[in-house]
Chains A and B, each alone.
Chain A
Amino acid sequence: MDIVVCVKHVPETAEAELKIDASGKGIEKSGLVFYINEWDDYALEEAVRIKEKFGGTVTAITVGAEDSDSTLRKCLARGADKAIRLTDPKFAGSDGYATAKILYSVIKNLHYDLVLTGMQAGDDGYAMVGPILAEMLGIPHTTMAKKIELEAGVAKVNRELEGGLEEQLEIKLPALISVQTGINEPCYVSIMGIRKAMQKEINVMTLADTGLSEADMGETGSWLKIEKLYVPPAEKQTEFLKGTPDEVAAKVAEILKARGFI
C-alpha cells in the first residue's frame, strides 16, 4: 500500500495576535510560529498506521517555502519514508486550484494506492485542494473521513456529517480521502524518529520539475482572487431561551449539537 500524504506548513493562529499586512490581502507572518496543519497531522498518522498494518511506503509532499522542511522532517520522524518539497517563488499566490495543479504534476508520476489530505488547512480553510487534486488524478475521492478501513481494492470510509450523523461508504482504490480531525490520535515524535529523519533527504523540486508553465500558477493560474482580508466587526448575539428548565436544557443541547460542540 503506497500512500501519498499532502501536508501544509501553516501558522499557529489560535493564540497569536494577527495583523493584516500592508497589501490588505494577507496576515503579517513574521513572528508567527509555523507547524504542520492540524488536519494533515491526522492524515499523516492515518497513513503511517495503514503502512504499519499493510506495508508499503508513505510519501509526504508539500508546496511551500524552505521553512516547510520542519513540517516534512516531522512527517519523516513520525514514519514517512520520503518527503518532497515543491518550492518556487512563482508558486506564491496560488489558490487551491493552482496548488492542486502543482501537486498533481508530481503525484501523477508517483505510484500510489491512496492519497490522503487534511480536510482543510488551518490558515485559509478552503478545503478544496483534496477534491480538485482527485479530479485531476482521475480517481474517486471522499471528504471528512472519520474512519478508514481497507479491504481488497476498496476502502470503507466513515464520513462525518452535520448534526452528529455519520455516513459509511465504499470507495474504489486508488482514491483520495480528505481526513477530519479525531480520526486517530496522532503519536508524539520520538528523539530516535528525529535522528532518523535527519538522515533522510528531502527531495526539493521547482517549477522546472513540474512541467507546468508560469501561467499555471500564482495569481495568473488561480481561479480565486482575494480582494481583501479584514477583521469583521464584533457583534454580540444573544438569544434568550424560554420554557421550563427541561425544555431550556433540551434546546441548549440541540444548539450545542448543531454547532458540533457535542
Chain B
Amino acid sequence: MKFELTEEQLAIKNAVKEFCEKEFKPELALELDKKEEYPIELYKKAAKLGFTSMFFPQEYGGQGCGLLETCLAIEEMCRADSSLGVAISSGNFGSELILAYGSKEQKEKYLPSICKGETMSAAAFTEPNVSGSDITRMETTATKYGNEWWINGTKIFITNATLADFIVVLTQTDTKVRPTYRGETLFVVDKGTPGLETTKLHNKMGIRCSVTGEVNFDNVKVTDWNIVGELNRGFYHSMEFFDKTRVGVAAQAVGMAQGAWEIAFKYSKQREAFGQPILQHELIGCGLAEAMTKIEAARWLTYRAAWLIDIGKMDPMATAMAKQYASRVAMEATDFAIQTLGGYGYLGDYRVERYHRDAKITEIYEGTSEIQKLTVLKYLLRKY
C-alpha cells in the first residue's frame, strides 16, 4: 500500500497548478459567470498543454495517462477556479464514449481534434420527461428506414450543447424489447446535421461558464456508421461510461472544496475580531480544520476510485462513494468558506459564493447523490 503520488503525477499536478495560477484569472471567471459565456480560448490553451486529453492514447494525440492523472488535472483546475475549472474539464465530455466504444474510423475522425482542443463534444442522455437518473427507457427514438436511422426526440441539460462539434446521443432503437434498456443505442451526430437543433439554457444557479442546453432531434438522419459501440447495447455502454466519468465529478468537487477552503483559510489569518485573527477563534479554526479533514478524506476516496479503474479493477461502489461524499464535502466546505468570510463571502468579488453555487451541480449531474447512495447500497447488499 502506497499513499503517495508518483514523481510523474506530482509533476503533472504542479504543471496544471502553475498554468491555472497564471491563466485562471478571477476577473475572467467573474465576467464569464455574469455573461454565461464559455472560456473557449482558455480551453484551447489548456488542451495544447495536454491538460484536457490526459487519458486519451498518444496515437490520437492524447497524453496516454490514466484516470488518476485526469483527476489530478481536474482537481487543480477546479481548485484554481470552480467555474473555469468545470467548463474546461468538461469541454470534451462525451468523447470518452468514442474512445471506449467507437469504431476505428470514428476515433480517427473525432479524437485527434478533441485532444488538440480544436473541437468540443457533448453526450446527451437526460430527457425532459422521464430519463435523468433513470435512463432505462428513452423517449428519443432512432428508427431504421432502409440504410438510414432517423432520430427524433429532445434531450435536456446537455453540457456543451450549443458548442459541441459532435454529440453522442442515447436513443431507443428497439421499442418493443423488455426490459426497455436492452433496446437502447448510442449514435454520434455531427453539428450541422439537418434536423439537429441546440438551444442554450439560461439563469443556472452555478457553472455558468459552462454551457448547458437543450438538443432537439427532428428527423435527424444518420447511418450505421454513426452507431457508437454495439446496437442495443447503449444502456450498458452508458452505465460503464458514467462509472468512470463520475470519478471526474468527484475530482471537480474535491478541487472546489480545496479552492474555497484556501481562500477562507488565508482570510481567517488576516481578518481580526476581538483582538486576534478569526482563525484563532475556535469556532472558525476548528471548522477549517474539520473541513480540511473531510476534503482530505474525499480526495483519497476519489484517488482510490480512479486508481481502481486504472489498474482494471473498476468498482462502481468506490466510484459512487467518492462522488457522493466529495460532492457533499464540496457543499459543506464552500458553505463554511462563505461563513468564514462573513459579509464579504456573500459578495461575488470574494469568489467563495460562486464556488458554493458551482459545487451544487456535483450533487446533481452524472448521477445524483441519491442514485450514488442506491448504488452503494446495492453493492453492500451483495457483500454482506
Contacts and interface: CB of A to CB of B under 8 A. Distances in A.
B64 A189 contact: no
Interface residues of B, number: 19
A149 to B, nearest CB: 27
B18 A194 contact: no
B7 A188 contact: no
Given A189-B19, A191-B65, 14 more contacts: A70-B7, A73-B7, A77-B11, A77-B15, A188-B19, A190-B15, A191-B12, A191-B50, A191-B54, A191-B63, A193-B15, A194-B8, A194-B11, A197-B11
Contact of B11 (A74, A188, A192): A74
Nearest to A74: B11
Interface in B194-222: none
B10 A191 contact: no
B14 interface: yes
Nearest to B46: A188
Interface string A193-215: 11101100000000000000000
A188 B16 CA distance: 9
B263 interface: no
Secondary structure of the A contact surface, majority rule = helix
A69 interface: yes
A216 to B, nearest CB: 31
B95 to A, nearest CB: 17
Interface of B: 7-8, 10-12, 14-15, 18-19, 22, 48-51, 54, 63-65, 69
B63 A189 contact: no
Contacts of A69: 7
16 contacts: A35-B14, A70-B14, A73-B7, A73-B11, A189-B18, A190-B48, A191-B49, A191-B50, A191-B54, A193-B15, A194-B15, A195-B8, A195-B63, A195-B64, A195-B65, A198-B11
A190 B50 contact: yes
Interface of A: 35, 69-70, 73-74, 77, 188-195, 197-198
A194 B15 CA distance: 9
Contact of A188 (B12, B18, B65): B18
